Amino acid sequence: MLSVIIPTHNSERTLVPTLSVLVPGATDGLVSEVLVADAGSDDETAAIADVAGCNFLVVAGPLGLRLKTAAAAARAPWLLFLRPGTVFDQSWTVDARRFVEDVAPGPRAAVFRRGAPAQPALREALSLLLAALGARPRPEQGLLIAKSHYDALGGHRENAADPEAELIRRIGGRRIAMLASSAWMRG
């Protein structure tokens, strides 16, 4: 159902928590593959990806090229782009599956809510208010998108200064749903 794509470069410390949080998705059939798009790490990133059963791709060049190359290699109809170090709360698989199975027709994508589940209520309320006021989602929230929609948009742009944020901008805030589960960076 989902191909998870994680761009890395010397990410051994931050990759482990992200791969760990994907295990429930893999065991229940939501995550069909994980592609690690590496920029030529000289640490243990490749070994960690290998032990976890990921497809490890070394792609020389900018981040946009690595992401686009991994997306082209993905076999599932849905893509989940994550930064190394991104983790979710426990209900992420339920929310992601519901979105993928129940998504309305047309080009749409989804991101996870910002912030750890234990964050203060005021901060969570502020995050929800910013989203309601049209604040653009951030790459740290992950991006769940149909591969066909990603391809129709032309994927990540290789020459963009921040290809992840630029893709989110092109999708448009009105076409990005906010999932109930939270995502935050660890590491």
Query: How many CB atoms within 10 Å of residue 143?
Result: 23
Is pLDDT at 48 greater than 50 in this prediction?
yes
- Three-state SS for 43? coil
Residue type, 27: T
Q: Measured between alpha carbons, how far is 36 from 131 in angstroms, rounded to an integer?
A: 29
Supply the angle between the helices 12-27 and 92-102 in degrees, to the nearest 10.
Answer: 60
How is the beta sheet containing 86-88 ordered, strand by strand? 55-58, 31-38, 2-8, 78-81, 143-146, 109-114, 176-185, 86-88
The domains of the chain are located at 2-185
In this structure, are residues 83 and 139 in contact, taking their beta carbons and an 8 Å threshold? yes
Return the CATH fold of 2-185: Spore Coat Polysaccharide Biosynthesis Protein SpsA; Chain A (3.90.550)
Query: How many CB atoms within 10 Å of residue 140?
Result: 16
Exposed/middle/buried for 68, CB within 10 Å: 0-12, 13-18, 19+? Answer: buried
In this predicted model, what pLDDT tens digit does every residue of 76-122 receive, in sequence order?
999 999 999 999 999 999 999 999 998 666 678 999 998 765 555 55
What is the end-to-end Cα distance of the chain in Å, rounded? 28
* Mean pLDDT rounded to a whole number for the chain: 89
pTM, whole model, 2 decimals? 0.90
Provide the pLDDT for residue 102.
Answer: 87
In this predicted model, what pLDDT tens digit does every residue of 130-175 receive, in sequence order?
555 455 666 899 999 999 999 999 999 999 999 999 999 999 988 8
Residue type, 1: M
